[in-house]
Amino acid sequence: MTEALVLTHGGAANDAAVADGCQAACAAALDALGRGGSALDAAVAAVVVLEDDERMNAGTGSTLRLDGSIQTDAAVMDARGFGAVAGLEGIKNPVRVARAVYETPHRLIVGRGARELALRVGLPEAELATARAREKHAARMQTLGSGMFAALWADVPQVFWQKAAQAGGACDTVGAVVRAADGSFAAAGSTGGIWCALPGRVGDVPIPGAGIHVGEAGAVVATGVGELIWAELLCARVHEAMAGGVPAQRAVDDAIAAVRARHPEVDVGLLAVDRRGGGAAVTAQMPWARAQR
């Protein structure tokens, strides 16, 4: 037996002032473990709390895409399996749908199929757009709706998207990593995506090795610009280092240092837990929390 350990985060671009939400998520995970739940149960419980916190860009309060829609991604993983959803609309807790996928023969279910699965297993529908999220979307679209950006949107959507992403915007994935007292590991993540995303865009969260990874050496989740995290296979890199004997804190520090050396303009955060402890590499504003018992 070892000590149970949970780390949670509220997104690379979120406000550190909402770290109390991450603390509540840690408490939910420890409570799940205390009731006999698995590491995976605990990771899901933590992310449900974050999805229900309207200050986070996941579940209720998710960021609106360019067309005003909300499409969510989520994933769960442990050493035995993986489940994820992408492009999911109108379901209260996407991470619960990812957990349902984990129990199927499939690994990733998207769009209409993900929504139908959620309804089939009895998960509740919800209006995910809050007044705050709608106000932010309207203000951002007004900023981008004239001059160069308007012309780019009319003629070259991909370039518009890239320029808008570089101009700054939410990258507020939420996530949790868990080590249970029996030494097993799990992770979960959920996101509404980046604010300037085209409909149908999928980030790093539902991609094993990119935004989430779990193996015999530990569990890792990432937050930031999904395309970069995916290209770097960032979580797989951290897990590989931990499998080679590098402590979790050094593994996440080394991975972030390597990313920043190549992309100094991009904020990326990481959480990891291994058999000896946990590590966090965070942005200046990233809310996160740690709890153990």
The set of catalytic residues is 173
- Specify the 3-state DSSP secondary structure of 214: strand
CA atoms within 13 A on the CB side of 263: 14
Residue 235 to residues 129, 220, 242, 251, Cα–Cα distance (Å):
29, 6, 11, 10
Residue 289 to residues 16, 17, 87, Cα–Cα distance (Å):
10, 12, 28
Q: Burial level of 254, CB count in 10 A (0-12/13-18/19+)? A: middle
Q: Could you give the angle at which helices 157-166 and 147-155 cross, rounded to 10 degrees?
A: 140
**Alpha-carbon distance 258 to 126, whole Å?**
40
